Structure 1
Amino acid sequence: MALIVLMEDDAATRTLVTSVLKKDGHEVLATENGVHGMIMAEARHPDLVISDVQMPEMNGFEVVAALRRNPALAATPVILLTSLQERAHMRIGMTTGADDYITKPFRPGELRDAVAAQLNKRQRQAELQSLAIDQAVTTALQEQRAHLIKLYEKRLAAELSERWPTGQGGAADERFDSASVLFVDIPHYAGVAEKLDASELTDLVRRFYGSANDTAHLFGARFIQFVGEGLLAVFTDDTNTRTVNHALRAARTALGLVESSRAIAQHLATSYPQRRLPPFDVHVALNTGAVTLTQLEDPLHGGKQTLPVGDVVTATILLQKQARALGWPIAASVATLRSVTGAVRTGRRALIDLPGRSQSLDAAELVGMAQPAESS
């Protein structure tokens, strides 16, 4: 498996991390301070470094800086271990060049997820490379060319029709241990609607939500539902999308929606320069976890309705509202980001309080896709 250098001055934490990682088959070189850890790293060139922030002789931030200055170790991913009291200072670590951090105390599963995310960077780059329709979809969103949309529809129509919930199948629920949920909403919709007439508003809705619906379809959404003035989409892995994981396709969809909103904002400014319309923008949230698509039957009127159920769905909608407050066009939970490490670029990171929930959600701003690795 992987060679990991661990720097942690607390014996109990050092033992826990070592035990968990060795159980997963990794080779772990553990030490109690950063100086010894750097000597190990320079001698062995590990696949990953895990470092506590507060250590004698050389702290975690200094370890990251030293690694980044060494050409032979500069690309080594680093995960920092931090206490709750130190979270406010973690911007220093991320700015210095840390790849991720975990707050102590942490669960073994959280450690495994963070380690796997860093070790799978190359796989994510390969998935990004295999997202062959990416450039074409970007062009379609920018130029809104109908013939490209028809091309994608022909290519994907058969696959979509096979997996799209029609309400005519059995009543059994579809349960997914891991799925990515996307929720997008227009925060100033009411203000824009107030200053447009019915036909103008209809054109606006068709432009944006038609594009949003098409984008989610093109990137293989398993389920799409309009929620008020927002759109909820669920992405899962299946036989038709196994080359690109669901989190990566959801992330690309989110970026496409933001790009489309900017084009519509320009259209509104050009078409109605005297209206003084509120800014047209969108805020998107991404979250990953267990989701169930359950079918509800209407005994009075007949028919069935598919409903996405799960804590991850509720958390995604709440996160979207907080993204608006933070001014982030796209907020993605760390659970989502760890599934696409190496394939996306992130900005600010924060522990976000969600209304009605006892635990905060660790999330970061998604700002773009990484460049695919060049083939040698």
Structure 2
Amino acid sequence: MASIVVIEDDAGTLMLVRSVLSKEGHEVATASDGAEGLALIQAVKPDLVVSDVHMPGLNGFEMLALLRSQAEFTALPVILLTSLQERAHMRIGMTTGADDYITKPFRPGELREAVLAQLRRREKQAEMQKLATEAAVRVAVEERTHNLSRLYEQRLAKALSERWPAPGQAADDEHLSDATVLFVDIPVFPELAQALTPDELTGLVKRFYGSAGDTVYLFGARSMQFVGEGLLAIFADTSDTESVSHSLRAARAALGLASAAHAMTQHLQTLGSGRRALPAFTVAMALHHGPVTLARLKDPLHDAVGQLLPMGETTVTAMQLQRQAQALGWPIAASLSTVRHIAGAVRTGRRGLVRLPGRPAPFDAVELVALTR
């Protein structure tokens, strides 16, 4: 069983958490405030931390920020206990580096499930690797049915590149000197479109991207929008996300989406009852960092301000790299420079040189497998 540190200033809650986890066979060490808990974590080096948010002295958010600033604890799973109901406070916890949160009052079963989910993360990652291998076998067939989608993405990437704004072009454009771009696509979408009814397909896509939108938002995305059946998200440092780099938050979001895709495969099995087997629900993602401009689009007919559109070479490269991730059978591909930004916090798999349109030299890409620990 696991070694768990519990930090809680309320004696009753502390007794409940310790009792529930001890009955599950876990080795539990406790602290009554953030400072004591941080010292205990450094001494015990546990497998998991369960911490209250509101505590005297060093609160849960501050303790978590100090914990994440230490390289050896960057990927240590942390579950926050909070009585705060506002979404903004939950987002602070997630962008500071929390892996999950439980709202007080909670049932013992909720705590057991949250702890079990974090401890089973490696098992889920292994399952995703298996799904990725199976997806590679279908690449040749999927490529033919995906021609229209590829053509659309290539035209969009070309348009984004050509519209890179000059300095001072628009006062309301936002120029990010360094940001991480995450692009997510569903490779099996054409197969699903043929196998499911329109209502079933709509419900499936809404269910996945509803979860995806929450995941991307909680990890502090600066901007996100849909491109066909894909999702484009931009992560950048802001005042409430400085304790965790934008590249690491983007990587956490990508791994969360990979787990969500696995859950969608189980949902597909229920839809496939009584008919031929449906394909596994897979996603292909890519991460790349660099300068990004969020251009404010306007309606020239009505002079209305529209959405922010990510533009520039960094965005184009991420979209092109996602196509290569799909061809290689990697659920998540990242540029080597992005992986170096978060070295020590993530575990990588295969590495390869890939050809991207418009680049004379091969591009160094790495498969992102999991967070460390």
Q: Do they fold alike, i.e. is TM over 0.5?
A: yes
Give the distance between the partners of 1:224 and 1:275, measured in 2 at CA: 35
Amino acid at match of 2:347: R
Q: 1:151 to 1:227 in 2, by over 3 A?
A: farther
Give the distance between the partners of 2:85 and 2:199, measured in 1 at CA: 29
Partner of 1:341: 343
Q: 1:95-151: CA deviations, max 9, x gaps?
A: xxxxxxxxxxxxxxxxxxxxxxxxxx985444445x856x89xxxxxxxxxxx9x95
Partner of 2:87: 153
1:291 aligned onto 2:292: yes
Amino acid at match of 1:322: Q
Does the Cα contact within 8 Å between 1:152 and 1:218 map onto a contact in 2?
no
Does the Cα contact within 8 Å between 1:124 and 1:341 map onto a contact in 2?
no
Q: 1:27-78: CA deviations, max 9, x gaps?
A: xxxxxxxxxxxxxxxxxxxxxxxxxxxxxxxxxxxxxxxxxxxxxxxxxxxx
1:329 aligned onto 2:320: no
Amino acid at match of 2:253: T
Q: 1:151 to 1:194 in 2, by over 3 A?
A: farther
Secondary structure at 2:308 match in 1: strand
Give the distance between the partners of 2:211 and 2:322, measured in 1 at CA: 19
1:186 aligned onto 2:120: no
Secondary structure at 1:332 match in 2: strand
Q: 1:183 to 1:152 in 2, by over 3 A?
A: farther
Does the Cα contact within 8 Å between 2:92 and 2:240 map onto a contact in 1?
no
Secondary structure at 2:338 match in 1: helix
Give the distance between the partners of 2:297 and 2:212, measured in 1 at CA: 25
1:205 aligned onto 2:205: yes
Q: 1:207 to 1:366 in 2, by over 3 A?
A: same
Q: 1:349 to 1:158 in 2, by over 3 A?
A: closer
- Structure 1 length normalisation: TM-score? 0.56
Give the distance between the partners of 1:177 and 1:125, measured in 2 at CA: 28
Q: 1:298 to 1:249 in 2, by over 3 A?
A: same
Does the Cα contact within 8 Å between 1:179 and 1:234 map onto a contact in 2?
yes
Instruction: Among all aligned residue pairs of Structure 1 and Structure 2, give the percentage whose two residues are the same amino acid.
Output: 50
Does the Cα contact within 8 Å between 2:353 and 2:362 map onto a contact in 1?
yes
The equivalent position to 2:357 in structure 1, one of 319, 339, 355, is 355
Partner of 1:174: 174
Secondary structure at 2:341 match in 1: coil
Secondary structure at 1:243 match in 2: coil
Give the distance between the partners of 1:157 and 1:256, measured in 2 at CA: 15
Partner of 2:146: none
Give the drift of 1:266.
1.2
Give the distance between the partners of 1:275 and 1:155, measured in 2 at CA: 45
Give the drift of 1:173.
1.9
Q: 1:158 to 1:278 in 2, by over 3 A?
A: closer
1:312 aligned onto 2:246: no
Partner of 1:241: 241
Q: 1:124 to 1:180 in 2, by over 3 A?
A: farther
Give the distance between the partners of 1:326 and 1:157, measured in 2 at CA: 34
Q: Root-mean-square deviation (CA), in Å?
A: 2.9
Does the Cα contact within 8 Å between 2:184 and 2:232 map onto a contact in 1?
yes
- In the alignment, structure 1 segments of 5+ residues that lack a partner are 1-120, 137-147, 161-169, 372-376
The worse-fitting range, judged by mean Cα deviation, of 177-186 and 262-271 is 262-271
Give the distance between the partners of 1:219 and 1:295, measured in 2 at CA: 23
Give the distance between the partners of 1:368 and 1:124, measured in 2 at CA: 16
Partner of 1:6: none
Partner of 1:228: 228
Give the drift of 1:270.
2.8
Does the Cα contact within 8 Å between 1:185 and 1:229 map onto a contact in 2?
yes
Give the distance between the partners of 2:362 and 2:254, measured in 1 at CA: 22
The size of the alignment, in residue pairs, is 229
Q: 1:265 to 1:159 in 2, by over 3 A?
A: closer
Give the distance between the partners of 1:290 and 1:124, measured in 2 at CA: 26
Secondary structure at 1:357 match in 2: coil
Amino acid at match of 1:323: A
Give the drift of 1:277.
2.0
Give the distance between the partners of 1:239 and 1:208, measured in 2 at CA: 29
Partner of 1:272: 272
Does the Cα contact within 8 Å between 2:91 and 2:219 map onto a contact in 1?
no
Give the drift of 1:309.
1.2
Q: 1:252 to 1:183 in 2, by over 3 A?
A: same
Give the distance between the partners of 1:295 and 1:221, measured in 2 at CA: 17
Amino acid at match of 2:233: A
Amino acid at match of 1:329: P
- Structure 2 length normalisation: TM-score? 0.57
Give the distance between the partners of 1:127 and 1:306, measured in 2 at CA: 32
Give the distance between the partners of 1:122 and 1:351, measured in 2 at CA: 32
Q: 1:174-205: CA deviations, max 9, x gaps?
A: 11221100000001102102221122112101
